[in-house]
Amino acid sequence: MDLESIVKAFDLRIRSGEDKLKAEIRGGYTGDLLSDVIGNSKEGDIWITRQVHQNIVAVASLKEHAGIILVQGCEPAKDTLDKAIKEGVPILVSDLSAFELTGRIYNFIKPLPTARR
Amino acid sequence: MDEKPLYEGCLTVAGGNFDNAGEVSASIKTILKKMGLPSDVVRKAALVTYESEINIVSYARRGMIRLHVVPGSIMIEAIDEGPGIPDIELAMQPGYSTASPRIREMGFGAGMGLCNIKSFSDMFKISSEVGRGTYLKMIIKTNRDPLNS
C-alpha cells in the first residue's frame, strides 16, 4: 500500500512532499506526544496528529515516517511547512477527527500487529 | 574507547530555542549516514540525540552534544548547564515530567524522553548536579565498521 492510495481514498489535501507519495506504508501511529511517537512508532508508518508546529517534521524525519496527516482540518504552521518542503516530508490534511481517520485507515491498510513488523 | 576515533565532533545547543530543536540530531544523522553506518544504527543515534537536544532546549541554559565514533560503536554525550535533576530515579520513570505548560503544548514533556534514550542505547549513563547541570552518555553499537565496509 502506498501513500498515494491513502491520499486518494481519504481525500487528503497535500501540503508538502508531493514527490514522496509512492512511499510504502507499513502501518501507522496516532499521537500528539512527541516522545510517545518517537518511542512507539516505526519507520514507514503514517503518523496521525494534530500538532502543527515544526518539531513534527524533525520527529517524522528522524523516525523515517512515510508522512504526517494533520486531523480536524488543521493546517501546518508556516515554519512547519517550510521545513517539511526542505526535508521532503509529506504533510497531508484531513477534516476527520484523529479517532475516525485512524479507524478508517487501519481498516484500509490492515497492518500487521506492530510486534510482528 | 582508546582507539583512534573515526569521527569526533561537538555541537552546541541553545536553551529555550524550540525553533532550531532537531538541528543537531539532523547533522549527526547526516554525518553518520555519510560514514556508511547501518540505517538502524543511524536512526537510533539520531533519536537519542534528538531527545537529549529537546531536554537541553526545554530545561537548560545551554548545552553541547559530543559525537565520538570508533570502530564498533558510537558514543554520544549531552552535557548541559542547567538546573540539574534532583532525583534521577524519579526522572527515569515513564510519565514523570517537570515540563512547563508551554513545553507540553508543543507535545513535549510526556515524561518519556529519558526512557526512550535508555531503550535506544546499548549503554546509557546519567549523572546530574542540582544547580550545575546534567550529563548523559549514550553508546550505540555498530555491527558493521565503516572502515571495513
Residue B149 falls inside a structural domain = no
Q: Is B6 on the interface with A (CB under 8 A)?
A: no
Q: Is B44 on the interface with A (CB under 8 A)?
A: no
Residue B57 falls inside a structural domain = yes
Residue B49 falls inside a structural domain = yes
Residue A114 has pLDDT above 70, yes or no: no
Q: Provide, as residue numbers in chain B, all residues whose Cβ is less than 8 Å from the Cβ of A47.
A: none
The candidate with the shortest Cα–Cα distance to A29, out of A80, A76, A64, is A64
**B47 contacts A63? CB cut-off 8 A:** yes
- CA–CA distance, B124 with B129 (Å, rounded to integer): 17
Q: Are strands B123-129 and B133-141 parallel, antiparallel or unpaired?
A: antiparallel
Residue A111 has pLDDT above 80, yes or no: no
Q: What is the pLDDT of residues B2-51, one digit of tens each?
A: 568 999 999 999 999 998 899 999 999 999 999 999 999 999 999 999 99
- The residue type of A55 is N
Residue B28 falls inside a structural domain = yes
CA end-to-end span of chain B:
20
Residue of A nearest to B18 (CA): A55
Q: Are strands A67-70 and A91-93 parallel, antiparallel or unpaired?
A: parallel
CB B42 within 8 A of CB B109: no
- CA–CA distance, A62 with B133 (Å, rounded to integer): 26
- CA–CA distance, A64 with B112 (Å, rounded to integer): 20
Q: Is B46 on the interface with A (CB under 8 A)?
A: yes
Q: Domain count of chain B? A: 1
Residue A117 has pLDDT above 90, yes or no: no
How confident is the model at residue A115, as a pLDDT?
56
The DSSP-derived string for B96-142 is -----HHHHHTT--SS-HHHHHHHH-SEEEEEEETTTEEEEEEEEE-
Q: What percent of chain A has pLDDT over 70?
A: 95
Residue B147 falls inside a structural domain = no
Residue B87 has pLDDT above 50, yes or no: yes
Instruction: Over range A53-66, report the average pLDDT.
Output: 95
Task: Write out the residue range of the structural domain in which residue B24 sits.
Answer: 7-141
Q: What percent of chain B has pLDDT over 70?
A: 94
Q: Is B118 on the interface with A (CB under 8 A)?
A: no
**A35 contacts B113? CB cut-off 8 A:** yes
- CA–CA distance, A76 with A11 (Å, rounded to integer): 17
How confident is the model at residue A110, as a pLDDT?
82
CB-nearest to B22 from A35, A39, A55 is A55
- The residue type of A21 is L
Q: Provide, as residue numbers in chain B, all residues whose Cβ is less than 8 Å from the Cβ of A51.
A: 106-107
CB-nearest to B19 from A43, A56, A79 is A79
What nine digits make up the cell of B47?
A: 533519536
Q: Provide, as residue numbers in chain B, all residues whose Cβ is less than 8 Å from the Cβ of A61.
A: 22, 26
The candidate with the shortest Cα–Cα distance to A54, out of B3, B22, B131, is B22
ipTM, 2 dp:
0.84
Residue B47 falls inside a structural domain = yes
Q: What is the pLDDT of residues A85-94, one digit of tens each?
A: 999 999 999 9
Residue B148 falls inside a structural domain = no
Q: Is B106 on the interface with A (CB under 8 A)?
A: yes
CATH, range A3-116: 3.40.1390.20
Q: Is B108 on the interface with A (CB under 8 A)?
A: yes
Q: Provide, as residue numbers in chain A, all residues whose Cβ is less than 8 Å from the Cβ of B42.
A: none
Tell me, what CATH number does B52's domain have? 3.30.565.10
Average pLDDT taken over every residue of chain A: 94
Which H or E element spans position A71?
none
Q: Provide, as residue numbers in chain B, all residues whose Cβ is less than 8 Å from the Cβ of A55.
A: 18, 21-22, 106-108
How confident is the model at residue B15, as a pLDDT?
95
Q: What percent of chain A has pLDDT over 90?
A: 91
